[in-house]
Each structure stands twice: as C-alpha cells, then as structure tokens.
A and B are shown apart, each in its own frame.
Chain A
Amino acid sequence: EVQLVQSGAEVKKSGESLKISCKASGYSFSSDWIGWVRQMPGKGLAWMGIIYPADSDTRYSPSLQGQVTISADKSSSTAYLQWSSLRASDTAMYYCARPNVIRGGITRVDYWGQGTPVTVSS
C-alpha cells in the first residue's frame, strides 16, 4: 500500500527557516516523481514543484522558482520542502503527492500525503 506521511504542523516567524518532510512507503521511491502542492487558506490547489529522486531532477513552478527548495533522500525515502526565509504569505497547507509524469508534465495524482499546515506570523 502506497503511503505518504508528512511531518507535523509548524508555527514560525517571518524570516525563519523551515524544512518539512514527506516519508514515502509501499513503492519504489527512487523510480517515481514526488512533489509538493500548496493550498493557501480558503484557496485552491497549486503545484510548487516535483523531484525525481533517482537523479534529483527537479522542476519548479515558475512563480515559485528560487523561493523554495525541493529535495529527496533516497536512503530514507523522504522528500523535503525547504524555505530559507519564511514570509507571512507562506502560511498555507502543504501536501506532498505522487504524480504521474509524462514528458515533464503531470497527468494525474493518485496518492497524497495528509498535509502539513504551516503558519508564519509577522
């Protein structure tokens, strides 16, 4: 059974750094893309980026390029989403997800983590 288990809720202040995690199980972690989706309070879903753990090929949403870092650790089957300096506008629910990717584009998403709420105060 495929499972994506995310780290717990975070409360931070503007300017602080943060790294949240998503531990995968039930499939070959290195051989499938994994990514992060942001849902701001009361808003819709938006892809932040995806990574292919086997070679660390990472694709970011153009609107978020440079604002976050996505990484993966094959030894622990864990994906990460990292900020070096948080802003109040980063307050959101963050989901990890396993997308099906064809030619660098996402066709569908079968599996989702439970979500990690991040609150950033100014």
Chain B
Amino acid sequence: QSALTQPPSASGSPGQSVTISCTGTSSDVGGYSSVSWFQQNPGKAPKLMIYEVNKRPSGVPDRFSGSKSGNTASLTVSGLQAEDEADYYCSSYAGTDNLGVFGGGTKLTVL
C-alpha cells in the first residue's frame, strides 16, 4: 500500500489560514469517509486532530477543520498560532483487512 501524498512543507503567518492536502486513491481516501489528521511535535507522540474527514475530538480547537473532495483530503488551520507549528500526518482507512495508510507528513511553519 503506497503512502498518501502530502506536501513536505507548508507555512503561514500568525492569524492566516493554511491548507494541507493529502492525496490518495479510490481505494483509500476516495473510497471511504475515514480520513484522520494527526499533529506531531518534536519528540512527542502523534495527537488526533481530525477524524472521519471533518470531526474534531474533544479539546481540539475549532480552528482546525477537515474536508475531502474525490481522492484528496485537506486539513485547514485558521487563525494560525505559533503553537500550531508541528508536523501533520493524514491517514486513511483502506478497506477490509488492510491496516490503513499514512501520508508522508507535512511540516507546518508559522512565520
């Protein structure tokens, strides 16, 4: 199973919005509504930010939102804050008896 495709880097100034894409195929992203996004700070475990394309776990700011169109999912961070600087990974359900697939990760820099 190939990794989902994410841009290696993204950036924005405080207060701006930034969108990170995650492109897969009809066998994963395009075929199901189980796309997740994780935030990972250096030396820390990933943290779930978005699940089922656009749902936020309790405690995640509503500045984080998710969407999907066809085989591409997107994470948008609005009102960027310095604390949002981190690596972001997408993942997708990929069908029966398939462990699923992650994206390669995007390093978000707050300028």
A105 near B99: Cβ-Cβ < 8 Å = yes
The reply to whether the CB of B111 lies closer than 8 angstroms to some CB of chain A is no
The reply to whether the CB of B12 lies closer than 8 angstroms to some CB of chain A is no
The reply to whether the CB of A53 lies closer than 8 angstroms to some CB of chain B is no
The reply to whether the CB of B64 lies closer than 8 angstroms to some CB of chain A is no
Q: Secondary structure at chain A's binding surface: helix, strand, loop or mixed?
A: strand
Q: Secondary structure at chain B's binding surface: helix, strand, loop or mixed?
A: loop
B45 near A112: Cβ-Cβ < 8 Å = yes
Q: Which residue of A lies closest to B52 (CB)?
A: A108
The residues in A between 37 and 67 inclusive whose CB is less than 8 angstroms from any CB of B are 44-47, 49-50, 59, 61
A103 near B89: Cβ-Cβ < 8 Å = no
Q: Answer whether A107 and B96 are a contact pair too, CB < 8 Å, given A95-B45, A95-B46, A112-B45.
A: no
The interface size bin for chain A is 20 to 34
CB within 8 A of B36: which of A59, A109, A113? A109
Contacts of A11 in B (CB 8 A): none
Contacts of A115 in B (CB 8 A): 44-45
The residues in B between 79 and 105 inclusive whose CB is less than 8 angstroms from any CB of A are 89, 91, 93-100, 102-105
Q: Answer whether A114 and B97 are a contact pair too, CB < 8 Å, given A44-B102, A44-B105, A45-B102.
A: no
The reply to whether the CB of B48 lies closer than 8 angstroms to some CB of chain A is yes
The reply to whether the CB of A104 lies closer than 8 angstroms to some CB of chain B is yes
Alpha-carbon gap, A93 to B105, bound state (A): 16
B3 near A44: Cβ-Cβ < 8 Å = yes
B16-60 Cβ-contact flags toward A at 8 Å (1 or 0):
000000000000000000101010000011111001100001000
B104 near A114: Cβ-Cβ < 8 Å = no
Beyond A107-B34, A108-B91: 8 further Cβ-contacts under 8 Å? A45-B105, A47-B102, A103-B96, A104-B97, A107-B52, A109-B36, A109-B38, A110-B51
A-B contact pairs, 10 of them (CB 8 A): A103-B95, A105-B96, A105-B99, A105-B100, A108-B34, A109-B46, A109-B91, A110-B51, A113-B45, A114-B45
Q: State the 6 A-B residue pairs at the shortest beta-carbon distance, nearest first.
A: A104-B97, A47-B99, A106-B100, A112-B45, A107-B34, A108-B51
